[in-house]
Amino acid sequence: MGEQTSMTTANLREETSAGKLNARICEGEAERGRCPTDPPHFTPSPLIEASSIGLVSCVDRLSFDSESFGFSCYRVSRWDTEPVSAAVRQLLDSPGPLAISAKVPADNVATASGLMLLGFRKVCMQATLSCDLSVRSLEPVPVGVTIRRGMPLDDETVWRHARNFRYDRFSLDPLMPAEGRHRLYFCWIRNSLAADGKLVAATGQDFCSFFETPTAAVIDLVSILEPRRGNGSKVVAAVLAHAKAAGLTEVRVTTECENTPALRLYHRLGFTVATYTAALHLVRQ
């Protein structure tokens, strides 16, 4: 539910552990692109069009997520209490499995409480962090890291990356099927690393993809398959160096607060938290 922009970090384990390091931005799910041909044994459920039941004004259907999970996925886009309540009830009256997501600023307790009364669960908290480049000196890209448009990886390696996410909001929700989230990340990574996709800071098979706005670099995905080599710090530092040299003013990333190793890495590199957001899901299996 890639909002993509969002953004956004998903799973990051300490580089000093035997685990893997992995990150996701959680703003911008529209940036994820489109899923490729369905893999064997993937049978999508019938999809419910929000427009067919009058929900366009406050609930968006997420095509990318729906194709990945094989059932209808939606996102609350407006917080008007009565329209949202009516929209959710209409969706719940429809047959079949579905998932509805919502992201609410951490201090908007009233809205979060109202959604929970409708059946939403708070899955996690997300932090959007920013690194102010105006206070950083110009440094070279770390040795062994390249920055280029896109990154060729075979399907087996992309699947390894896709299964590497453990602290993203999909993985933290036990009601979201693992097969669906792995498929979602496979498609997301494949799109992000396409030759006409995003910029990629890479060392070996480990990478950090990102895109640029007029003033900032925004991290899309980070995935590290080789632990305890400092590759996570290297690829993120490469993005900082590239953005500074390009005259940008900041680098932004979003990660789940449950992903404490990711937060430590970003703090170590000079990021500070700008905002907190509550991620809520309503899932009917």
| Position 148 pLDDT exceeds 50 | yes
Return the closest-CA partner of residue 11 out of 1, 25, 22. Answer: 22
Give a yes or no: residue 9 inside a domain.
no
Mean pLDDT, rounded, for 219-240 = 94
Give a yes or no: residue 6 inside a domain.
no
Return the closest-CA partner of residue 235 out of 19, 84, 62, 22. Answer: 22
CA distance 125 to 112: 12
pLDDT tens per residue across span 47-63: 444 444 444 468 999 99
pLDDT tens per residue across span 173-187: 999 999 999 999 999
Give a yes or no: residue 277 inside a domain.
yes
pTM of the entire predicted model: 0.82
pLDDT tens per residue across span 27-53: 344 456 656 544 444 444 444 444 444
Give a yes or no: residue 15 inside a domain.
no
| Position 78 pLDDT exceeds 90 | no
- Under 8 Å between Cβ of 44 and 67: yes
Q: What is the length of the chain?
A: 285
State the pLDDT at residue 32: 62
Per the DSSP assignment, residues forming a β-bridge with 146 are 202
Q: Are strands 121-132 and 250-256 parallel, antiparallel or unpaired?
A: antiparallel
Domain that holds residue 108: 21-284
CA distance 95 to 158: 34
Per the DSSP assignment, residues forming a β-bridge with 206 are 203
Counts for the chain of helices (H) and strands (E), in that order: 7, 11
Give a yes or no: residue 102 inside a domain.
yes
Give a yes or no: residue 11 inside a domain.
no
- Answer with the residue of higher pLDDT: 70 or 35: 70
- Answer with the residue of higher pLDDT: 35 or 203: 203
Give a yes or no: residue 7 inside a domain.
no
- Under 8 Å between Cβ of 204 and 233: no
- Answer with the residue of higher pLDDT: 156 or 40: 156
What CATH number has the domain bearing residue 86? 3.40.630.30
Mean pLDDT, rounded, for 254-272 = 95
Give a yes or no: residue 2 inside a domain.
no
3-class DSSP state of 242? helix
> Positive or negative, the Cα torsion across 179, 182, 187, 188?
positive
State the pLDDT at residue 22: 52
CA distance 221 to 212: 14
Structural domain count of the chain: 1
| Position 77 pLDDT exceeds 60 | yes
